[in-house]
Amino acid sequence: MYKILVADDENLIRKSIVTKLKKSPYSFSEILEARNANEALQIDNPDILITDIKMGNPNGLELARKMQETNPGLKTIIISGYSEFDFAREALAIGVIDYLVKPINTENLLSSLKKGIQQIKQEKDDKTIQSKALMEESSSRLSALLQNSRFLTNEDLSPYFNLRHYGCFWSVRLFIPVPNENIFHSVMDTIQVSPFQVGKDIAVYKDRLRQIGLLFAFSEKQENRNGRQRKILSLINAISKDLAEKGMDNFTFGISASGTDPLLCHEQSLKAMHHRIVFPDREIIEFQDCDNIEKEFNLTKEEKTQFLLLISTQSVHALVNFMDRLNESLENTLPVSYHSLQILFNFIMDTLISTLKFSPTLYSSTRNPYHFNSIREMTDYLKSICLRAIEQAEEETNDSRTFHLVTKLQNIIKEHCDQPFTLELFCTQNNINTSFFSSQFHLIAGVTFQEFLNNTRIENAKKLLRETENKVGVIAKLCGYSDQQYFSKTFKRLTGLTPREYRNEM
């Protein structure tokens, strides 16, 4: 929606332009009129100015110059008669977007409006891109400062807050399961209409996990603790409402206690956010809620030994029962410290890696309990990872055995190619599915079983033809062919020569 100002001392022309604007396909928030430059200067920040070049003192060009001093984004369209060509050139020189000759043609007016609107949109887009880039840069610097510093001075914080004195800080962390770049700017938009002001009393950043952090700073003269907390909670509720309207859910806010050390507040809000799995029904978790949790959850020595044994023996059914009992025990013990959940999570993942050589990064990047919305979700995930690890180990074991059997069969054929031989017999003797082994043989050897058998027998026949004077029929039998005619056909198919032709060429 755009605000239009029409300034012309000729009433009929001014009213005619306003009528054309009202009938145009564009939507305007306001269409305002001014009978002279002084009236026009009383109107705040129009988006587009349409003015007569010879309106009086000051004239249209002077009006455009003055209004652009306080409103640099103003787009001006000049109207005049044929005789003021020099004025037209001057108008274009000072950045007027278009020059229309009286009488005003509707089509030309709409074309000029379209040009002005396009320029406004483009400048707004450019400004938004530039603003986002600056916010991203500031966010990165603050995030690094909070995560890598041991102590922060007023000078360190000065780029982010416009306060002479820092009475206290408050930190808020927003966790979203699947973060994206739009969330950061959505939060910024919500802050714009809040009592807080970025660069004065609030700073926004993204951490290593692309989660959103808010750091609040209050001077010593600010209202009491409860008043500050109410303002923060009001902003959190506004952000929550905006996220919900965008279809996002399962987000959690972690809030620190009020304190004089911004780094400590930062750590407290992170700890509160981590406890979302301990308090699955809460959207807002305060540091005080989790700081007082004394209960720990630890597997006993016997339980650790049992889990290790179940993984080592790949006992699927017993492992599922173990994980179900673990979930029940955890849910009955809540709330427990997040630290103990992290230890449990790491123990299970490390056991899989060390015992089964499992590579969890191939299947999931989730490595922390706070990624989950509940204990059940976490234990179900761990159960699925355990089963996948066992399945992977079985696949690797099967692959190794299959490769061994293929090599074994190849050696048997090479050493005993004169013997009658079938793939079915070998598979039966080694307790492996014939169809499966046939496909695996082809995959590993590069040829089918029958092709390998024939190739091996013919290579042996060629050797006997070169090194002995045995008859062709004898050589056929020595190479496993009971039918001399079939042997000769197979020999020619693979070498291009009959056995006798091959011998004669030696």
Quickly list DSSP for 60-126: HHHHHHHHHHH-TT-EEEEEE-TT-HHHHHHHHHTT-SEEEESSPPHHHHHHHHHHHHHHHHHHHHH
The 8-class DSSP code of residue 215 comes to E
Q: What pLDDT does 366 receive? A: 56
In sequence order, the β-bridge partners of residue 206 are: 212
Summary mean pLDDT of the chain: 85
For the record, the structure tokens of 34 come out as: 């001014």
Distance CA(495)–CA(488), nearest Å, equals 10
Residues 6+ away with beta carbon under 8 Å from 433: 427
In sequence order, the β-bridge partners of residue 451 are: none
Distance CA(387)–CA(316), nearest Å, equals 7
Distance CA(251)–CA(282), nearest Å, equals 10
Q: What pLDDT does 93 receive? A: 63
Question: What value does the mean pLDDT take over residues 341-355?
Answer: 89
Helix (H) / strand (E) element for 204: namely strand 202-206
Q: Quick check: 136 pLDDT over 50?
A: yes
Q: What pLDDT does 52 receive? A: 86
Under 8 Å between Cβ of 52 and 74: no
Question: What value does the mean pLDDT take over residues 58-77?
Answer: 85
Residues 6+ away with beta carbon under 8 Å from 444: 402, 403, 406
For the record, the structure tokens of 234 come out as: 């009001």
pLDDT in tens, 91-101: 666 668 888 88
Q: Which residue has the higher pLDDT, 189 or 365?
A: 189
Q: What pLDDT does 397 receive? A: 66
Q: What pLDDT does 129 receive? A: 60
DSSP 3-state assignment of 211? coil
Distance CA(383)–CA(374), nearest Å, equals 14
Distance CA(359)–CA(176), nearest Å, equals 26
Indicate the pairing of strand 168-175 with strand 212-218.
antiparallel
C-beta contacts of 186-194 below 8 A and 24+ residues apart: 186/242, 186/243, 186/246, 187/212, 187/214, 187/239, 188/135, 189/242, 190/235, 190/238, 190/239, 190/242, 191/235, 193/238, 194/234, 194/235, 194/238
Distance CA(360)–CA(381), nearest Å, equals 12
Question: What value does the mean pLDDT take over residues 145-170?
Answer: 82
Q: What pLDDT does 362 receive? A: 47
pLDDT in tens, 413-443: 888 888 888 889 888 888 888 888 898 888 8
pLDDT in tens, 303-333: 999 999 888 888 889 999 999 999 999 999 9
Distance CA(301)–CA(315), nearest Å, equals 19
pLDDT in tens, 219-276: 865 556 677 888 899 999 999 999 888 888 788 999 999 888 999 999 999 999 989 9
pTM: 0.56
Q: Which residue has the higher pLDDT, 123 or 477?
A: 477
DSSP 3-state assignment of 445? helix
Q: What pLDDT does 92 receive? A: 65
pLDDT band at residue 364 using 50, 70 and 90 as cut-offs: low
Question: What value does the mean pLDDT take over residues 85-111?
Answer: 77
Residues 6+ away with beta carbon under 8 Å from 316: 387, 390
- How many other C-beta atoms are found inside a 10 Å radius of the C-beta of residue 355? 16
- How many other C-beta atoms are found inside a 10 Å radius of the C-beta of residue 279? 18
Q: What pLDDT does 173 receive? A: 93
Question: What value does the mean pLDDT take over residues 339-343?
Answer: 92
Under 8 Å between Cβ of 101 and 80: yes
Distance CA(459)–CA(391), nearest Å, equals 41
pLDDT in tens, 448-500: 999 999 999 999 999 998 888 899 899 999 999 888 999 999 999 998 999 99
pLDDT band at residue 444 using 50, 70 and 90 as cut-offs: confident
